[in-house]
Amino acid sequence: MIDGVAGMKHPADGAGLHVGIIMDGNGRWAAARGLPRFEGHRRGVEALRRTVRAANELGVRYLTVYSFSSENWARPPQEIADLMGLLKLFIRSDLHTLEEAGVRVRIIGERDNLKPEIVALLEEAENRTRRNTKLDLIVAFNYGARQEIVEAARALARDVAAGRLNPEDIDEAAFAARLCTAGAPDPDLIIRTSGEMRLSNFLMWQAAYSELVFLPVFWPDFDRAAFEQAIVSFRSRERRFGGVGPAPVAKVASAS
Ligand code: IPE
Ligand code: IPE
Ligand code: MG
């Protein structure tokens, strides 16, 4: 949490929030500078490092970052190899810092088609941080929401076929419990950088009532100021959840 006017939340207070981020625009950031796309991805990892630190400072409770989609396999093999390499580098170089900072790492997405050495690293990151409780960093890697929803439907069908579940008992909670985000609340805020305004198969079930903020900065340029700007925008929204008036949300101070 950050300090605000007495008794009120600072407008950029992220306390308790679940923030999702679609980290987009690495390639365009690089192209604008005449650099190879890899350089954009490399700088994108630095932005991620900064963002996790900022999330912790702002009091964010859950941070879900989209780092590789099920559809990103459509990219050239060299770029895919670069992205896999950067994930390995990030875990190897940052795991200790994350561990010390109270961050619990969780990776969501398909693991079957990943190389065993990557799967081992993902498991190590989860195991070494599983007792941390300050910030949950959920990395959506090789993730696609449609695939996740299909998988949840399959799990329900299996339970019904095995006689463990009555079809009449399938409700939203039963469905959500079989998604890979089970246990985490739905995101309050989803930020997408790069100016694109779409979800690109990110958390489609969970985003039903998320506030969406689209920022015109490329991901490698994302910083604490941009993060705060997105939270300020979120705090100014009226979340209705289908009702007629504002849901009771924490009051925010007008001064920053
Ligand atoms: C986001 O940047 C990183 C990944 C999708 C892995 P992009 O690589 O999509 O960058 P743009 O959108 O081409 O600029
Ligand atoms: C979404 O970005 C996936 C990630 C940020 C990891 P893309 O760049 O893949 O999305 P599209 O193709 O522009 O929709
Ligand atoms: Mg993109």
Least reliable range by pLDDT among 61-75, 112-126, 138-152, 234-248: 234-248
Residue 6 lies in a domain: no
Q: Indicate which ligand has the atom closest to the C-alpha of 198.
A: 2
Check pocket membership of 68 for ligand 1, CB cut-off 6 A.
Answer: yes
Q: Residue 58: CB partners within 8 Å, gap ≥ 6?
A: 1, 2, 12, 13, 14, 15, 224, 227, 228, 231
Residue 200 lies in a domain: yes
Write out pLDDT tens, residues 173-226. 999 999 999 999 999 999 999 999 999 999 999 999 999 999 999 999 999 999
Kindly report the number of other CB atoms within 10 A of residue 161's CB atom.
9
Name the nearest CA neighbour of 52 among 142, 143, 136: 136
Check pocket membership of 195 for ligand 2, CB cut-off 6 A.
Answer: no
Residue 255 has a pLDDT of: 44
Residue 249 has a pLDDT of: 57
Residue 213 lies in a domain: yes
Residue 245 lies in a domain: no
Residue 33 lies in a domain: yes
Q: How many domains does the chain have?
A: 1
Write out pLDDT tens, residues 135-158. 999 999 999 999 999 999 999 999
What average pLDDT does the chain have? Answer: 94
Annotated binding site for Mg(2+): 24, 211
Residue 143 lies in a domain: yes
Domain with 167, as residue range(s), is 18-235
Residue 253 lies in a domain: no
CATH number for the domain that contains residue 45: 3.40.1180.10
Ramachandran bin of 57, using left for φ above 0, alpha for ψ from -120 to 50, beta for the remaining angles: alpha
Q: Read off the pTM.
A: 0.94
